[in-house]
């Protein structure tokens, strides 16, 4: 069942999305050489709770204990912050944060470059961001979920990358995971038709090498099998009368 959001719901949702986006922007100067992912996660939690009087909604999800996931280099998703994980020159890291306020959950992520990164590292981050927006461009009433996935996948492949197919975007609202599932590959004009009021995430995971992934021993962290880089970008989107509104859009992207 798809939970369509009303215009009144979206008025509140915008405020929640703005908080989530601001957290990612505020973290930019904090993501640097010598800092642990644990410190970054605890800082995000402090800001969410104290500065915005909101809830870091990833805490308690499937026993996860942090306000964000931190996925470094070959970590595809669900990286667990750690005091032992110290960022070093040349790393790329995805920070994925969720915020709950006004009854709604906003989910968004951003890639960060640590110190002096290689051209290859910069490129996969940029192409992944482009993949996200290729998908967002397809969000409008009458288009399908297949349209979103097709254009994301095509852009990744065209640029020499692979798409992780085991994970996808998802409906979101008062619950973290709602219907529908939003695949990052697909066929044009196939799948569920989009309609006004649908809210979901688009969050492509793009690999430098092959698409194969595996779970680490913690049964949470997902990495590339070949050890090559992976990147991810995510926004929470609502279908409007005429297209899409990115609820978690950051000022730096406008």
State the CATH number of the domain containing residue 134.
3.90.230.10
**Residues 150, 185 contacting (CB under 8 angstroms):** yes
Cα–Cα distances (Å) from 196 to 10, 192, 212, in that order, read: 11, 13, 35
Is residue 80 one of the residues assigned to a domain?
A: yes
Residue 62 pLDDT greater than 90, yes or no: no
**Residue 45 belongs to what domain range?**
7-248
Let me know if 214 is exposed, middle or buried by CB neighbors in 10 A (0-12, 13-18, 19+): exposed
Read off the pLDDT of each residue in 175-180 and give the average, rounded to a whole number: 97
The more confidently predicted of residues 1 and 205 is: 205
Identify whether 200 is part of a domain.
Answer: yes
- Would 136 be classed as within a structural domain? yes
Per-residue pLDDT averaged across 163-175, rounded? 98
User: What mean pLDDT do residues 154-172 have?
Assistant: 98
Rounded distance between C-alpha atoms, residue 121 and residue 39, angstroms: 23
What's the number of domains the chain is made of?
A: 1
- Structure tokens, 74: 């070959």
Say what the pTM is.
0.97
Q: What pLDDT score was predicted for residue 150?
A: 98
pLDDT, one tens digit per residue, over 69-81 is: 999 999 999 999 9
Structure tokens at 23: 């957290």
Q: Is the pLDDT of residue 120 over 90?
A: yes
Tens of pLDDT, residue by residue over 80-95, are 999 999 999 999 999 9
pLDDT (0 to 100) of residue 205 = 98
**Mean pLDDT score of the chain:** 97
| Confidence class for position 223, pLDDT limits 50, 70, 90 | very high
Report the pLDDT averaged over residues 206-225: 96
In this structure, is residue 253 part of a structural domain? no
User: What pLDDT does 32 receive?
Assistant: 98
Q: In percent, how much of the chain has pLDDT > 90?
A: 98
């Amino acid at each position: 069942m798809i939970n369509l959001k009303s215009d009144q719901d979206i008025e509140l949702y915008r405020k929640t999305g703005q908080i989530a986006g601001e957290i990612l922007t505020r973290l930019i100067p904090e993501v640097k050489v010598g800092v642990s992912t644990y410190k970054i996660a605890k800082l995000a939690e402090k800001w969410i709770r104290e500065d915005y009087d909101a809830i870091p909604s990833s805490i308690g999800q499937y026993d996860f204990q942090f306000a964000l996931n931190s996925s470094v280099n070959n970590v595809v998703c669900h990286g667990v912050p750690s005091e032992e994980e110290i960022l070093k020159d040349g790393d790329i890291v995805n920070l994925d944060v969720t915020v709950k306020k006004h009854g709604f959950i906003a989910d968004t992520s951003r890639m960060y470059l640590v110190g002096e990164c290689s051209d290859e590292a910069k490129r996969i981050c940029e192409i992944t961001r482009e993949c996200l927006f290729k998908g967002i461009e397809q969000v409008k009433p009458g288009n399908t979920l297949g349209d979103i996935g097709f254009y994301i996948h095509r852009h990744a492949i065209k640029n020499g990358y692979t798409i992780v197919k085991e994970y996808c975007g998802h409906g979101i609202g008062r619950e973290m995971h709602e219907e529908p599932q939003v695949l990052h590959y697909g066929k044009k004009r196939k799948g569920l038709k989009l309609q006004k009021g649908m809210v979901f995430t688009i969050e492509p995971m793009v690999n430098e090498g092959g698409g194969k992934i595996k779970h680490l021993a913690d049964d949470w962290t997902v990495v590339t099998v070949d050890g090559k880089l992976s990147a991810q970008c995510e926004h929470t989107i609502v279908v409007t009368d005429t297209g899409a509104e990115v609820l978690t859009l950051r000022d730096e992207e406008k």
